[in-house]
């Protein structure tokens, strides 16, 4: 798996989603989208009308039921749209947890809070403002832990990578800071594009963030954990 900066420009400007809209459904049910409830906690359903790609299948934004993500045992987990709905990929099944401890309980509280108030925040306090359910588009923040351990230092993209983070690189920064960020999985041949980010904290009170990548061709979502 290697991060790379694509030649194509970012097509979607950053959008902070705080409530239901015509392109995003928070906490979708299995009646709205088919998924494996023993593997995934559904956070949102993103309409592909928000994507420039010709993709008719809406994208499930979900949290894999895995303590390994929070324990740092695995840096990422992938799930895909199959004939039986969204499922965690076979190669990551061993990372799933039978007991999601208090995270599953907090998720249910968060879902109930949103259903009642139509917004969500980390403290589950109706007197406070709502926080983003999902931040769609743009570029992910680079120079963090998540890309540090997934970055291929021997790749040809090294100059692009550092120019995209360094405002003093001038024209190079202006250019690469507007390019799509992708991850290429050499083993499966799947090329992912950055989709957005969500905070673990408002859904499971677990701290950290999830960097979300997506492959429209393979109907596959990649969840990468970021703990600064």
Reported as a single tens digit per residue, the pLDDT across 116-132 is 999 999 999 999 999 99
Residue 35 contacts residue 85 (beta carbons within 8 Å):
yes
- CA dihedral angle for residue 201, residue 205, residue 206, residue 211, rounded to 10 degrees: -30
Tokens linked to 228: 């600064």
Give the pLDDT of residue 212.
Answer: 96
Reported as a single tens digit per residue, the pLDDT across 90-107 is 999 999 988 777 788 999
Give the pLDDT of residue 154.
Answer: 45
Its pTM surpasses 0.75: yes
Distances in Å between the Cα of 118 and the Cα atoms of 50, 110, 130 are 21, 11, 9
Give the pLDDT of residue 190.
Answer: 87
| Sites in the chain below the pLDDT cut of 70 | 1, 52-55, 148-174, 176
Give the pLDDT of residue 38.
Answer: 93
């Amino acid at each position: 798996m290697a991060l790379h900066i694509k030649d194509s420009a970012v097509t979607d400007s950053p959008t902070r989603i705080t409530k239901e809209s015509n392109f995003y459904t928070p906490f979708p049910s299995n009646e709205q989208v088919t998924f494996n409830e023993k593997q995934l906690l559904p956070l949102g359903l993103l309409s592909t009308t928000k994507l420039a790609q010709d993709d008719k299948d809406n994208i499930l934004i979900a949290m894999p039921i895995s303590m390994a993500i929070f324990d740092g045992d695995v840096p990422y987990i992938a799930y895909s749209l199959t004939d039986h709905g969204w499922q965690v990929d076979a190669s990551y099944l061993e990372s799933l947890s039978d007991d999601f401890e208090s995270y599953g309980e907090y998720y249910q509280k968060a879902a109930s809070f949103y259903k009642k108030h139509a917004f969500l925040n980390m403290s589950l306090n109706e007197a406070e403002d709502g926080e983003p359910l999902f931040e769609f588009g743009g570029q992910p923040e680079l120079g963090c832990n998540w890309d540090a351990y997934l970055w291929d230092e021997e790749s040809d993209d090294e100059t692009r990578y550092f120019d995209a983070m360094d405002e003093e690189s001038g024209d190079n920064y202006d250019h690469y800071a507007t390019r799509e960020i992708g991850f290429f999985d050499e083993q499966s041949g799947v090329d992912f594009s950055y989709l957005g980010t969500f905070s673990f904290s408002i859904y499971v009170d677990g701290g950290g963030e999830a960097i979300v990548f997506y492959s429209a061709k393979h109907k596959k979502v990649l969840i990468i954990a970021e703990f600064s």
